[in-house]
A = this chain, B = another copy of it.
C-alpha cells in the first residue's frame, strides 16, 4: 500500500489524538479542518481548511486520501455516498454512520433487531409528545434526532408544560424523538473496534459519570460490574458493530438499571470520550485501533495495562494557561498522564483530560480528580 494517507474530517481533539497515535504506524494524516488553528491543525502537517458540508471541498480533499474517517459525525450522509460512488474509501461508511447521526434511524434499527432500547416514538408536535408520555408514563425524554451533543438537544420533560420547548427552533430535517425515561443507576460505555474484514476487539467496559450531559469522569473497568454483565455489554456492542457493519470504533453508551440489565442510550462511531483512558491504561489506545481498523490492519490488544484507570476531563475554568498548570499537577504526581487539546479556555469547554492508573481505585480516582481540578482552577 505504500505510505497510506488517512484523511480525517474535523480538526478537534479526537483528530489530534488520532494523529499522535498514527505517527508510530508510519501513516500520514491529512486533515480537513474548520480553521487554520483548531486543535488538530496545530499538530498535523497536511491541513486543508474548509467546510465539511461543501461537496467540492470534501471531494477534493477525499480524493487524495487512501481512506477517509472522522473527528465528528456531522458530515452529511448524502455527501459520503457521493464520495463512495467516486471510489473513496469512507470508514465508517454512511450506511453505518447514519445510525450515529440520526437517533430515530438508530432506535428503529436496534428495536427491529430486538436489542434493548427504551420505548420510543417520533413526536411531530407537543401534543404527540404528551400523548406518548400519557401512554408510557411521565417523565419522558425528548431528543432532537440529529445534531445533539454534550447534553444539547436533550430534554427531560416532566409534565405537559415542558412539551413545547423541544420543538422551538428545530432545524430543517430534524425530528423530535420521544423516549421512555429509564431510571438508570449509572451509565456504562462498551467500546469496540471493528475492521472492514470483520475482525473486532472489545475494550473493558467503563463506568461513565456525566454532569449536564457532559462526560466528566470514567472508571475502567466499571466497578462492581460482574464478569457476566461486562461480557453481555461487550457482546451487545460487538453485535451492533457487526449488524451495522461499522468500520472503526463503535462506542455504545448504556444505561444500567437497578437489576443490572442495560439499555442502549447512544451510539458513536469515532474515538469516544469514554475511551480516552485507553491512551494510558490500555495496551492499545482507541485512537491507534481506530486507525488500524480504517486501514484494515490487524487490531491491537485492547486489554487493560493496570487494574484501574480513571480519566477525568479538564473543563475550562479559571485557569487560562494550562501548560503553566502542568507545573503544579506534574510536580505533585509524576505518574499522572495529561492530554491538553491546544484549545482556548472557555468556561465548561473540554480542553484536556488527565488519566491516572494504578491498583487502588480510591487513590487512582483521587489523583485523577485532583489533577483535573488543579488544571481547571489552579485553586
Contact = CB atoms under 8 A, between A and B. Distances in A.
Interface stretch (A101-109, A149-157, A328-336, A364-372): A328-336
A297 B326 CA distance: 7
Contacts of A47: 45
Nearest to A300: B334
B326 A25 contact: yes
A173 to B, nearest CB: 36
A152 B284 CA distance: 37
Interface string A187-198: 000000000000
A297 B330 contact: yes
Name which of A1, A2, A26 has the most chain B CB atoms within 10 A of its CB. A26
A322 B297 CA distance: 12
Contacts of A23: 16-17, 19-20, 43, 339
Contact of A330 (B4, B17, B300): B300
A292 interface: yes
A24 B28 contact: no
A340 B26 contact: yes
Number of copies: 2
A45 B330 CA distance: 26
Contacts of A327: 297-298
A298 B284 CA distance: 26
A3 interface: yes
A299 interface: yes
B334 A25 contact: no
Interface in A274-298: 279, 283-284, 292, 295, 297-298
Contacts of A16: 23
B300 A25 contact: no
Nearest to A27: B323
A41 interface: yes
Interface string A15-44: 011011001111111000000000001111
A70 interface: no
A132 interface: no
A337 interface: yes
A4 B49 CA distance: 23
Nearest to A324: B1
Contacts of A19: 23, 43
Interface in A326-354: 326-327, 330-331, 334-335, 337-342, 352
A26 B300 contact: no
A342 B20 contact: no
A17 B327 CA distance: 23
B26 A341 contact: yes
A56 interface: no
A344 to B, nearest CB: 10
A335 B297 contact: no
Given A20-B23, A23-B339, A300-B330, 5 more contacts: A16-B23, A19-B43, A24-B338, A45-B45, A284-B334
Listed from nearest, the 9 A-B pairs whose CB atoms lie closest are A26-B340, A298-B331, A298-B330, A20-B23, A24-B339, A301-B334, A301-B335, A23-B43, A20-B20
